[in-house]
Amino acid sequence: MNAAPAGAETAQGEWHKTACILCENNCGLLIQLDDRRFAKIRGDKEHVASAGYTCNKALRLDHYQNGGARLTTPLRRESDGSFTEIDWDTAISEIATRLTEVQRRHGGDKIFYYGGGGQGNHLGGAYSGALRRAVGARYRSSALAQEKTGEGWVDGHLTGSHTTGDFEHAEVSVFLGKNPWQSHGVPRARTVLQQIAKDSARSMIVLDPVRTETADLADFHLQLRPGTDAWCLSAILGVLVQDDLIDHAFLAEHTTDSAAVLRELSGIDITAYAEICGVPEDLVRAAARRIGTAGSVATYEDLGVQQSPNSTLISYLNKLLWLLTGNFAKPGAMHPHSWMAPLAGYSRDIKRTPVTGAPILGGMVPCNSIAEEILTDHPDRFRAMIVESSNPAHSLADSAKFRQTLDALDLVVVLDVAFTETARCADYVLPAASQFEKWEATFFNLEFPHNTFHLRAPVLDPLPGTLAEPEIYARLLRRLGAVGRGKLAVLRAAAKLGRGPYKWTFAALLATDKSLAGLAPYVLYETLGPTLPDNARSAAVLWGLAQRVAKVYPAAMRRAGHRSADALFDAILAGRSGVTFTIDDYADAWDYLPYPDKRIPLAIPDLLHALRDLATTPATHTSAEFPFVLAAGERRAFTANTIFRDNTWRHRDPNGSLRLNPDDAADLGLTTGDRARITTSRGTAVSSVEINDRMQPGHASLPNGLGLDLPDGDGTQRTGVAANELTDVTWRDAFAGTPWHKHVPARIERLEEV
């Protein structure tokens, strides 16, 4: 079935193929329209990855498309703080002029880029690199530097790239600070979790201070004290080594430096460490033995550990769990995988930020350092920021400080569908077409051995006044004169002759002008783009990525049925339910290792030191003043980052309550529905309370994505707590600079009604 080409009348009752944009799984969907409303939504059974699966949230997507405060015209902020509606030509011309001015006065590297895509929209971001190249911008960041950069750095030392777990087949599945029942991440998560729970031959191990819906299904729930995972994992690894449940043959054949690691773990005091995490030693030992004797093990670490103390060390210990037991490159285990385009770099090299020398991992400036890089009179501070598809004034630690940071810049440009908390701080706001109004895709293609990619066709015409990001970037680049007209004309002529002549002409031009490489997405958009069917101009960059797939994974691509890069590109353009772009053999996993000897180097000296230091590292960060550990930003049945702005999509708990253990609530004199004041070192907030025996004493949680400012008559109204009004940029990991959002020392008090 073809999607509605832009401008076409579409029949009522027709099902349009697309995908959900609320989490990285991007489940395939069918949508029926009633004018511009989403009348019916259901799972797409033909989808290559999700095969009809959806969770409860996808059915509410009309609240994204038609709710919230959609933007329909570019806005410019005036000196009195008010916004003026301006036309696109004015906006593009003024922004280009002001970017050039920053570049001339301070250098293009003072232009900072944040974002590039959320849970559903990475295609626009793929073009942003060309703009960055044209203005000389060198520094960037995104939400990845709030969660995955520490893990990526560890990967950079070990397997050299991202690994993924085969939970469909794993005998033992381990979830560390991950609640896939609510947050997914594992494709078709609820089905897979239920299958594991039902099968007596398979086991699930969950490390979580909360008895989550996932923990309900687990065979081993290690309900540890918040923030103590490093000790818990060390104890598990200690059992594996001390009870000799290690795969020595695997270590000898496939790794180097294992002796240093085993030596460190042989000294772990298992009893003492189990005590620190508050988990019975017997349970730690039983979980370790289950891992050590399993035919296959897959693990998934997520925000519960990545946004908590010792997160980079924990990533290392997590990976040792499956490496020391030989759970790599076989069904049910862990695997590196192909990419259409890598989401970040996976390197052990550390670059440094210009002002504070913070570590840049995977090419990303740590989110918690951005404010410190700007709120200074250091000459190398950033002067301008382009924010695309992200809402950092809401999602970064210490929102008040981040708003101040945006105020301190000479120029802030925001590309978004909605008038967000970040847009309110911008000098220019550019209205993007929604993810159902344009060609879109994500690069969350993380599977092995079958890896899939879904280019989504538009379901609707763009809302009048909005543009797709590739067109916005192209207009800026045209205005900047980034590529000479002559070169573009030559390529346009070649494109008319066919893909073969186009490819050779492109290669010839690149050979004479290397600077074109960084501008390639834009060049493709301008020259190949107009020749693509169904107005799929934005898909042009995928032609370049298909060439990359053919070069890097030729055999896997051919196994997936694509005989050439162009054949793959055509399949992507035509495949409305996604395409499988690579099929690997399990043995191929070794080819993904970047080392000539194809052995995994196991020792990371800095992290082995951190492991040794654990014996004297503080395991608690609370105090008499702030006695609670607040998890600021839990994924629940009705949270979806800030993608839905309209709060009426929540059927339950519309304002997002603070969850507390019954004993704590009794001590504080609180019952469900009461209001409590939460105070941290950075701020205070008032929340309704939900007493919930899933929480342990001393631990409280707030949902993520709430506290958005919604239009209400002449003003705005806020529902729920914006978690980052309470967080502090200084609470961050020593290695990666990633935040401790899940571990915020807090005080909770009953709010007396007046």
Ligand X SMILES: Nc1nc2c(c(=O)[nH]1)N[C@H]1C(S)=C(S)[C@@H](COP(=O)(O)OP(=O)(O)OC[C@H]3O[C@@H](n4cnc5c(=O)[nH]c(N)nc54)[C@H](O)[C@@H]3O)O[C@H]1N2
Q: Cβ 320 to ligand X, closest distance in Å?
A: 16
Q: Which does 434 bind (CB under 5 to 8 A by kind): ligand SF4, ligand X, none?
A: ligand X
Q: Cβ 201 to ligand X, closest distance in Å?
A: 26
In terms of CB distance, is 264 or 471 closer to ligand X? 471
Q: Cβ 184 to ligand SF4, closest distance in Å?
A: 4
**Token reading at 449:** 């051995």
3-class SS at 272? helix
Residue 619 to residues 86, 288, 310, Cα–Cα distance (Å): 54, 22, 10
Q: Which does 25 bind (CB under 5 to 8 A by kind): ligand X, ligand SF4, none?
A: ligand SF4
In terms of CB distance, is 137 or 251 closer to ligand X? 137
In 579-670, which ranges are E strands?
A: 579-583, 600-601, 628-634, 658-660
Q: Which does 519 bind (CB under 5 to 8 A by kind): ligand X, ligand SF4, none?
A: none
In terms of CB distance, is 182 or 661 closer to ligand X? 182
In terms of CB distance, is 417 or 520 closer to ligand X? 417
Amino acid, res. 163: T
List of residues 6+ apart from 702 with CB closer than 8 A: 630, 631, 632, 633, 634, 656, 658, 659, 678, 687, 721, 723
Say if residues 418 and 390 touch (Cβ distance below 8 Å). no
In terms of CB distance, is 53 or 581 closer to ligand X? 53
Q: Which does 366 bind (CB under 5 to 8 A by kind): ligand SF4, ligand X, none?
A: none
Q: Cβ 53 to ligand SF4, closest distance in Å?
A: 7
Q: Cβ 638 to ligand X, closest distance in Å?
A: 7
Q: Cβ 54 to ligand SF4, closest distance in Å?
A: 4
Say if residues 356 and 469 touch (Cβ distance below 8 Å). no
Q: Strand pairing partners for 467?
A: 432
Q: Which does 26 bind (CB under 5 to 8 A by kind): ligand SF4, ligand X, none?
A: ligand SF4
DSSP states of 352-374 as a string? E-TTT--EEBTTB--GGGHHHHH
CA gap 476, 194 in Å, rounded = 49
H helices present in 396-484, as ranges: 399-408, 469-480
In degrees and rounded to multiples of 5, residue 122 shows phi and psi of: -110, -5
Q: Which does 166 bind (CB under 5 to 8 A by kind): ligand SF4, ligand X, none?
A: none
In terms of CB distance, is 373 or 709 closer to ligand X? 709
> Is the link from the previous residue into 449 a cis peptide, with omega within 30 of 0?
yes
In terms of CB distance, is 416 or 471 closer to ligand X? 416
Q: Which does 304 bind (CB under 5 to 8 A by kind): ligand SF4, ligand X, none?
A: ligand X
List of residues 6+ apart from 694 with CB closer than 8 A: 210, 211, 212, 659
In terms of CB distance, is 54 or 255 closer to ligand SF4? 54
In terms of CB distance, is 391 or 442 closer to ligand X? 391
In terms of CB distance, is 451 or 639 closer to ligand X? 639
Between β-strands 163-165 and 255-256, what pairing exists: parallel, antiparallel or unpaired? unpaired
CA gap 500, 508 in Å, rounded = 13
CA gap 151, 162 in Å, rounded = 9
Say if residues 578 and 28 touch (Cβ distance below 8 Å). yes
Q: Which does 163 bind (CB under 5 to 8 A by kind): ligand X, ligand SF4, none?
A: none
Using alpha carbons only, give the angle 8, 4, 544 rounded to the nearest 5 degrees: 115
Q: Cβ 210 to ligand X, closest distance in Å?
A: 4
Judged by the rule CB under 6 A, the positions of this chain that interact with ligand X are 23, 118-119, 121, 143, 146-147, 176-179, 182-185, 207-210, 212, 226-227, 229, 302-305, 308, 388-392, 395, 415-418, 420, 432, 434-435, 469, 631-635, 639-643, 704-705, 723-724, 727, 741-742
Q: Which does 389 bind (CB under 5 to 8 A by kind): ligand X, ligand SF4, none?
A: ligand X
Q: Cβ 56 to ligand SF4, closest distance in Å?
A: 7
| Closest C-alpha among 398, 502, 432 to residue 65 | 432
Q: Which does 58 bind (CB under 5 to 8 A by kind): ligand X, ligand SF4, none?
A: ligand SF4
Judged by the rule CB under 6 A, the positions of this chain that interact with ligand SF4 are 20, 22-23, 25-27, 54-55, 57-58, 184
Q: Compute the chain's Rg from CA coordinates.
A: 25
Q: Cβ 142 to ligand X, closest distance in Å?
A: 7
Q: Cβ 625 to ligand X, closest distance in Å?
A: 21
